[in-house]
Amino acid sequence: MPTLTRARQSHAALAHAVSPAAWRRSLAMRPADAIFAPAVKVGIATSLVLVAGGLLGQEQLAGIASLGALVAAFGRHQPYPRLRRMLAVVAASLLIAAGAGALMGAAGVPLGPQIAVLSVIAGLAAQLFAAVGITGPGAVILVFAASAGSAYAHTADAVPPVLAAVASGAAAGWLVAMAPVLVVPMGPARLAVARAMAAVVRLGTDDAGTRWGDAAAPLRRARESVALSAGRAGQGGRRLLRLQGEAAALHGLLDEAGAALSRHGAARAAALGRLARHEAALRRTWRASSAQTRAARGTAEVPTAAAGVAWPAPTGLLAAARPGLASRAGVGRAVRMAAASALSGWAAVGLGLEHPLWASMGAVAALQGLDYSTTVQRSIQRLLGNVAGAALAIALLSLSPGFWPSVALVVAFQVLAELLVLKNYTLTTIAVTPMALLMTGLGAHLAPDAAFSRVGDTLVGVVAGVLVAAVSISHADRAHLTPPADPAAVQERQRQKGCTAGSKKTRKVVPG
């Protein structure tokens, strides 16, 4: 009976993958805020390493270094004390993946074992990133770096340059991502507080009623971000005292936000109006100053010290990651990703495709979703994006651009991808596909037909990813079986329910 139930659940999951609703949702645009600064940082980091490599005459290594620079794309808007540790983990992971690929390429290891090793690395990295809470491009970048290392290193002498290129790129990405701490050290905390206020305002004006749990998580994350950004109380230094003073004001704003939903009528409306004004002021992070925080708060003074306030120390990454690393669900996700990556790569080898590791990348990218519904959506989006992006890449590669025009295009596509990644993954992949092909062709001619290979490998990868996800789907994973509710329909049903309840109440009060 359990086998029959599993078969039915997998069949329903596969049916969802080909349903028109799933394909329609892949084209939907999602709201996203604060997308400009992260995109600019990634563009700067990529530009630095590509220009430096070109000036040094190391055009192919410049492309490998640009993969290390993608460190800057991870950990968006994390507090800087936490971000520096997260990016160090990403940089180390990239070095391990690129080094493993280069060593196997230099040793002449056949593609089959290479795919197996890199799939295991991708699964382990995905588990680590999820446990630590590292957001961003994910483990797919590690497979890309390993593939580049394997393609470049044909002898043992070529392994150190690959490692040096990735390390220099990762260092540039780390420095660019951390540079704003010198100007706006409380920037991520201010954004977190603004987002928490926006969540409270949305709930307070929701006709469907208040769901406090939807605001509790943003408020909790904001408090943690403020505490981490401010540093430990009791430590000296004028800069630290200023940060703790601003943190005290931000905690006060969070107190005000937490109390807003407990009010009613005109008092609630006034409180929500103040929160909306505070949110707008806090989002101007380029003017992060205590004076602006005082203006947003509407107070005359902000404390210059956090006397009596105990600021929690940043949690160590190992301590934060330990529960996730040991969780059964996390281990299951890592195994599924490694299996899908290996199966898709081996299938691409069997089909005679030119770049089997691109198929592995497709499977890894698809399985970075949190549940089966997201896996299907990402698979569809990646496939559609690769088809459209390949058409664009064919046109560009047909022009045989030189190194410097390719650099300009790579940077432009990278920035565009970062601007779109939170809005729609299909559009993101349309930008990523030509960027990846141009990056692969830096220092070496890449024919336009490589774009066709990219589409074929991607198709193999996403199909393998969806099949593995469907066969191994959890009994608790049922989001794909429930269509997203129409907000207008929900409100109408609740209005009718309220009218019905009122009618029943009237019939009880008025006889006859």
Q: Distance between CA atoms of 428 and 442, rounded to whole angstroms?
A: 21
Q: Where are the alpha helices (H) located in 205-316, listed in sequence order?
A: 212-230, 238-260, 265-282, 290-297
Structure-token pair, residue 12: 């329903």
Least confident of 69-83, 278-292, 318-332, 334-348: 278-292
Segment among 2-6, 108-112, 196-200 with least mean pLDDT? 2-6
For residue 388, the model assigns a pLDDT of 95
Cα dist from 223 to 132, 249, 459, whole Å: 18, 12, 43
Across 75-170, the runs of DSSP E, i.e. the strands, are none
Query: What is the chain's length?
Result: 512
The DSSP symbol for 73 reads G
Q: How many CB atoms lie within 10 A of CB 317?
A: 18
Backbone angles phi, psi at 497, to 5 degrees: -65, -40
What is the model's pLDDT at position 41?
A: 96
pLDDT, averaged across the chain: 84
Percent of the chain's residues with pLDDT above 90 = 53
Q: Report percent pLDDT > 70 for the chain.
A: 83
pTM of the model: 0.85
pLDDT digits (tens, 9 = 90+) for 28-71: 899 888 899 999 999 999 999 999 999 999 999 999 999 999 99
The predicted model gives 189-194 an average pLDDT of 93
Chain Cα centroid distance, residue 230 = 25
- Cα–Cα distance between 396 and 392 in angstroms, integer? 6
Average pLDDT over residues 229-249: 79
**Whole-number pLDDT of residue 236:** 59
What confidence score (pLDDT) does residue 208 get? 42
Sign of CA dihedral 54, 56, 61, 62: negative
Q: Among the ranges 243-252, 270-279, 411-420, which has the highest mean pLDDT value? A: 411-420
Which of 137-151, 396-410, 434-448 is the least confident region? Answer: 434-448
Tokens of 272: 């929500």
Residues 396/438, Cβ–Cβ less than 8 Å:
yes
Per-residue burial over 426-459, b = 16 or more CB atoms within 10 Å of its CB, e = otherwise: bbbbbbbbbbbbbbbbbbeebebebbebbbbbbb
- Residues 304, 290: Cα–Cα separation, whole Å: 9
Whole-number pLDDT of residue 473: 81
User: 301: which residues sit within 8 A by CB, 6+ positions away?
Assistant: 294
Least confidently predicted of 9-18, 41-50, 317-326, 438-447? 317-326
CB of 81 closer than 8 Å to CB of 181: no
Closest CA to 70 of 188, 180, 166, 162: 166
Asked if 259 and 178 touch (Cβ cutoff 8 Å), the reply is no
What is the mean predicted confidence (pLDDT) over 394-406?
Answer: 92
Closest CA to 196 of 292, 290, 131, 261: 261
Model pLDDT, residue 304: 38
What is the separation, in whole angstroms, between the first and last Cα of the chain?
55
| Distance in angstroms (rounded) separating the CA atoms of residues 256 and 282 | 15
pLDDT at 313: 54
Residue 83 has pLDDT above 80, yes or no: yes
Query: What does the block give as tokens for 480?
Result: 């794909």
Amino acid letter, 48: L
* Residues 6 or more apart whose Cβ sits within 8 Å of residue 140: 122, 361, 364, 365, 368
What value does the mean pLDDT take over residues 377-390?
A: 93
What pLDDT, in 10s, does the model give residues 482-505?
A: 555 444 444 444 444 444 444 444
Is 234 a residue whose pLDDT tops 60?
A: no
Q: Is the pLDDT of residue 311 over 50?
A: no
d(CA 137, CA 73): 7
Q: pLDDT digits over 330-354, tens only?
A: 888 899 999 999 999 999 999 999 8
Is pLDDT at 27 greater than 90 in this prediction?
A: no
Give the pLDDT band (50/70/90) at residue 80: very high
